[in-house]
Chains A and B, each alone.
Chain A
Amino acid sequence: MANQYYLNDALKARAASQVKEENAEIALDDVSRVKVLSPARQVFKRFIRNRLAVFGSVLLIVMFVFSFLGPLFYAYGQKQIFYKYDRRTVNYAMAKENTTYNGYDIDESVTVERSVNNAMNSRIKSMIADGRTEMVELGESGGYLIQKLADEIYTLSAVDLTHICSVGNSTAVIGTYSQVTRAIDYRGAAVEGLAEAIAANLKGTSGTVTYEGVTYTYTRAEAKNYTITATFDGLRYVNAPMDTGFETAMNTALDEGADSFTYRAQKYVLVKNGNAYDVYRQGKAAPARVFTRLTADTFTMGAPVSTELRVNALLAAAKGGRFTADGRDWTVTDEDGMLVVRDESGSEYMELSVFSVRRYTGEDTMDYDLKKAVAERVEEMLSSGVKSAAMTYNLPMQGESGEYLYDENGVLRYQEAELKLDQRDTGEFVITAEQTIYVIDIYASPSARHILGTDGDGFDVLARIMYGGRISLMVGFVVVFLEIFLGVIMGGLAGYYGGWVDMVIMRLVDIFYCLPSMPIMIILGAMMDALRMNTYIRLMIMMAALGIMGWAGVARLVRGQILSLREQEFMVATEATGIKVRGRIFHHLVPNVMPQLIVTATMGMGGVIITESTLSFLGLGVKHPLATWGTMINSVSSASAMAHYAFIWIPVGLLICLTVIAFNFVGDGLRDAYDPKAKR
């Protein structure tokens, strides 16, 4: 039984021996005295002993949480525009006497030349100045008749005009002479023998030929064609001559200075043309448009005024009385210079007057009584000669947020408001009133709602700082990753293979070292500006360019390390065990360079953030709606903005500094921790 194994005893014995061990004095040379830490833990321990490095790490963690998690919990977005309600004096309305004549179609089928239509305003004014009631206007393709129907109402009609003759010293183009056919293409009656006379005398680009007592002038129009103009003296008929009675009537009219005469129930008009008069037979007139200075004001706000109603009212006003429009009967009466239009029941519908009161924007959204009140006040001002006055009137009430207030029946509520009337030097009256309006809240000072205020676009500064931090940190990471990636591959290849590979790669490194990166980035930015590139694509290109321009340093570092490492025994071992070249470089050599790479990457991050923000500051990096720290400072970099809105750019600038400092502290700390004996 002695050999029997008792579990209980065994356990007891073990426990007893453990107690003994714990109590035992440890000898000086006992291995268990030395607490062995893994290399990683050693580095970590050394790292946290460095106060600056710990400070930097904490700062970085805060920055990351702030930039990447902050926006999730912060109420505002980076492109959210903030508005506020502001009570300020606005231009409410404008009152003036109309000075231009506006045209309305009577008959759309009658075409009116654009140039004639556009000249109507000045034609009517010249008619008023000359005291004429009728005027003939010659267009490119036909004649037009302007007639005065009543004060301020004029009609424009298309009229058939037949050119009968010209009186006085007149010149007329009679045709085109062609040198090829040696013939004249006449516009009116042919002149026999003229072609031969011209052919005989043609010389140079222009000249004169006298033929049968008339002087003809030829001027070269194009290649072989000449324009022939004739200068007449006295009376010249275009086609068949008229009888002497016509000539007597015409001369009488000319002597009297009249511009028209009637002969045998036919109306003829005289149109001055240079030194001569052209006589036209006036045919049938087709009314096309009516022109007036009168504007329509309806008695109920917003009642429709169709063109037909307006035109017919104007036409009827001249004849006085009734008319139909839009299938209804209307009457129009002249009440001291103001046309009042009444519908069939006899109630007033609208008014046509020279004086108009409109909202400042030109809309007709004011009620009739207000217009009337303003008009009366203006009249008082004009008669007393004062340039500014005030009046009170019930304007629609506005709530806190600028919306119009309605009572329970859905009717607009009104409140007394002070209106100010001022006459401008140009004669019109501007009516101003205090209104609550909705404006973008720009450059708001820091407050509880916006902790760092808002910027020039009404964006919340704190929100933009968060989103800007995202971009800055992201750019830093991506660029540094690219640099390391390229650098490790190139440096690894150069260091491992040596020889001509090394030679080529190192010369490439020299070239990239020498490339001036800031100017190149600025040029790239300007180029992308010219191409109007999307801001996200710009961001990508910028990151790629920074990465490509920065790998040379990493490659040099990696190569240097690998050159010394590859001579060591463990590399001989990898060769002996037959590990592939790729594995030898990237699994056995590169991990040994890792500490230096991590340090370089951390320090490099700060540099990249500075470069990115500088480019954005210059306006050549990431563009406006996207927030970055650089653009935020740029937006307030003008002298006055900088002085007044320090609450925007100082926090942003400090954040850039803090982030870069943090990366540098951490990098420094890491370097010391990895290799305490290394050169700092």
Chain B
Amino acid sequence: MLKYTAKRLLYSVLILFFVMFIIYTLMYNMPMGYVETKARELASRPGATKSYAEWLADLNAQYGMDKGVVQGYFVWLGHAVRGEWGDSWAWTLPVTTEFHNTVWYSFALGLISFIFEILIAIPLGITAAKKQYSFTDYFTTVVSMICISMPTFFLATLLKYIFSVKLGWFDLSGMQGRNYMNLSDFGKILDVAKHFVLPSITLIIISIGGLMRYTRTNMLEVLNADYIRTARAKGVPEKKVINYHAFRNTLIPLVTTLGGSLPGLFSGALITETLFAIRGIGYASYTSMTQADIPFIMFYLAFISILTLLGNLISDLLYGLVDPRVRLS
């Protein structure tokens, strides 16, 4: 187990190395003039302390742009490994500070949606599987299909149209109401919570479909297994068959996938956050991407790549932990 974990970790580091190399190459080949434009802009800002040439040399050195791709990548890697991510251009803050400022909003949004997703999708999926080919089953299938097929931006616009424009229950976007500053501390929390409702609903609807289908499929497979037939033949009450024998076995794949998606809670919802102007890491990174804020983009992409690899690793390890039949090697 330990050996397996160590091996997987090493693989992950190797993969990360190449992934970041590809991303770095992409960044390096950004149309010429980006660094120059940025340097010119920084130098002409009011209160700029460095001249254009100084900024240019500084930026080029900072990102190893004055060297070749490979050499530059190692310079960047050297800085990154030591935790020196540089200063964000778009936010004029150290990258890590901007990260701390934003990631917790994303995490809150992700966690809320994650909990609701589990609470809604798993029971529905199990109900659908219990009554295969019934109306409930078809209804669940169709609903989950609609949820999967819904583009985030359309759903977000639709929700805004219904709940903000037509009903006027929520603000169109943003994280604070107009009189936020006059509210008590508790009122402030409620105000922010209110602004998180629509983004959460968007995320829940988008993610619910997949989990619902996955639960249903796995439950169906378990229900068709021999030991369920045996249990039924022995006269075990149906309730006990479902809740005790079947559900616990359905949990194996569910726990592994859900466990694997835990790191993803930090990665932020790029489009949802942007559309609802939630100042999470997704929104911050989107802004950085459109403004070619190389330091922040590199950091963000490294961050989500690590999260993806971590998710895969956790899911594989959990599989071995939850299911005693599986031997990891």
Contact = CB atoms under 8 A, between A and B. Distances in A.
Interface in B256-297: 270-271, 274, 285-286, 289-292, 297
A664 B158 CA distance: 22
Contact of B217 (A613, A657, A680): A680
A527 B153 CA distance: 22
B4 interface: no
B304 interface: yes
Q: Classify the secondary structure of A's interface with B.
A: helix
Interface stretch (A248-256, A511-519, A570-578): A511-519
B161 interface: yes
Interface stretch (B13-21, B71-79, B92-100, B189-197): B13-21
A510 interface: yes
Interface string A649-665: 11001001100110011
Contacts of B27: 523
A325 B69 CA distance: 76
Given A507-B14, A653-B157, A519 B285 contact: yes
A507 B153 CA distance: 34
B22 A515 contact: yes
B149 A661 contact: yes
A531 B31 contact: yes
A633 B30 CA distance: 29
Contacts of B160: 642
A516 B141 contact: no
Contacts of A149: none
Given A519-B300, A653-B154, A680-B217, A514 B19 contact: yes
Interface string B294-310: 00010011001100110
Contacts of A618: 153, 271, 274
Contacts of B165: 639, 642-643
A613 B157 CA distance: 14
B251 interface: no
A613 B151 contact: yes
A514 B217 contact: no
Interface in B130-187: 138, 141-142, 145-146, 148-154, 157-158, 160-161, 165, 172
A668 B286 CA distance: 34
A646 interface: yes
B26 interface: yes
B41 interface: no
B252 interface: no
Which residue of B15, B30, B149 has the most chain A CB atoms within 10 A of its CB atom?
Answer: B149
B317 interface: no
A680 B16 CA distance: 32
Nearest to A56: B145
Interface in B8-37: 11, 14-16, 18-19, 22-23, 26-27, 30-31, 33-34
B220 interface: yes
A514 B19 CA distance: 7
B154 A657 contact: yes
Interface in A626-680: 630, 633, 637, 639, 642-643, 646, 649-650, 653, 656-657, 660-661, 664-665, 668, 679-680
B221 interface: yes
A518 B270 contact: yes
Given A520-B23, A614-B152, A656-B151, A527 B30 contact: yes
Interface string B101-130: 000000000000000000000000000000
B289 A522 contact: yes
Contact of A511 (B19, B213, B270): B19
A610 interface: yes
A610 B145 contact: no
B220 A680 contact: yes
A354 interface: no
Interface in A520-539: 520, 522-524, 526-527, 530-531
Contacts of B150: 657, 660
B148 A664 contact: yes
A306 to B, nearest CB: 50
A507 B33 CA distance: 34
A518 to B, nearest CB: 6
Contacts of A518: 270
B70 to A, nearest CB: 17
B282 to A, nearest CB: 10
Contact of A642 (B31, B141, B157, B297): B157
A617 interface: yes
A633 B153 contact: yes
A629 B252 CA distance: 40
Given A519-B270, A523-B289, A530 B34 contact: yes
A487 interface: no
Contact of A665 (B31, B145, B286, B290): B145
Given A519-B270, A519-B304, A665-B145, A530 B220 contact: no
Which residue of A516, A637, A660, A679 has the most chain B CB atoms within 10 A of its CB atom?
Answer: A516
Given A516-B304, A526-B292, A614 B31 contact: no
A175 interface: no
Nearest to B173: A639
B151 A614 contact: yes
Nearest to A661: B149
Given A618-B271, A639-B165, A639-B172, 9 more contacts: A507-B18, A519-B304, A523-B26, A523-B297, A614-B151, A642-B165, A653-B154, A660-B148, A664-B149
In the A-B complex, list the 3 residue pairs whose CB atoms are closest, starting with the nearest: A660-B149, A653-B154, A661-B149
Interface of B: 11, 14-16, 18-19, 22-23, 26-27, 30-31, 33-34, 138, 141-142, 145-146, 148-154, 157-158, 160-161, 165, 172, 213, 216-217, 220-221, 270-271, 274, 285-286, 289-292, 297, 300-301, 304-305, 308-309
